[in-house]
Amino acid sequence: MRTSLFSRVLLACGAALILAALTLALASTSGAAYAQTLPPRPTVAPTAAPKDNPKPTAVVPGRITGTVIDQRTGAPAPGVAVRVGDASLTSDASGNYDINGLAPGSYAVALVLAEGQGAAAQGELTLALAAGQTVVQHLFFTSPAPAVAPAEPAPTPAPTPVALPNTGAGADAWALPLALGALLLGAGLATRRAAR
């Protein structure tokens, strides 16, 4: 009866160590950082050259578009107010702003940041817009860094029944628990067979 209990303890401890080793092995291989994919930004669509036409034609309206980008994060910023001439609009969920139907001429374009949104990286820009032209102008600002909460003292860890040596955070930190777990599993199986 005692041998059976002893072999069960050995088997349980061995299985736990092997699981811990596998967790360490997976953690050491999944530390790669991946670049964030950004949503598509507006581009200038090619326009066909006007053909010679003896009839007078109406003035074709133009378009001003772009993306509002937070320089602190490098990401497009939704919900930021943009002024184009006398019009005011807000960047969409992908950080894009777009205004169509503009008559040819010069337009002042600027970010209108609310308190706490940060500071514009460039001042007011003046864009010249020809008939039927699309002008792409990306706008940049720097948002404030998020407030960091004061660090709380680390909780006192509970005592552990088995102390494993700290092998560092190297790629092979999982090898010792794996070997020890396999050894305990083998001892548990051998003890069980010997008891039969």
104-144 pLDDT per residue, tens = 999 999 999 999 899 999 999 999 999 999 999 999 999 99
Indicate whether this model's pTM tops 0.75: no
Residue 30 CB contacts under 8 Å (≥ 6 apart), including other chains: none
In the chain, which ranges are E strands?
Answer: 62-70, 75-76, 81-84, 87-90, 96-102, 105-112, 119-120, 125-129, 134-136, 139-142
For the stretch 38-88, pLDDT in tens is 666 666 666 666 666 566 667 899 999 999 999 989 999 999 999 999 999
In the predicted model, what is the mean pLDDT of residues 147-164?
71
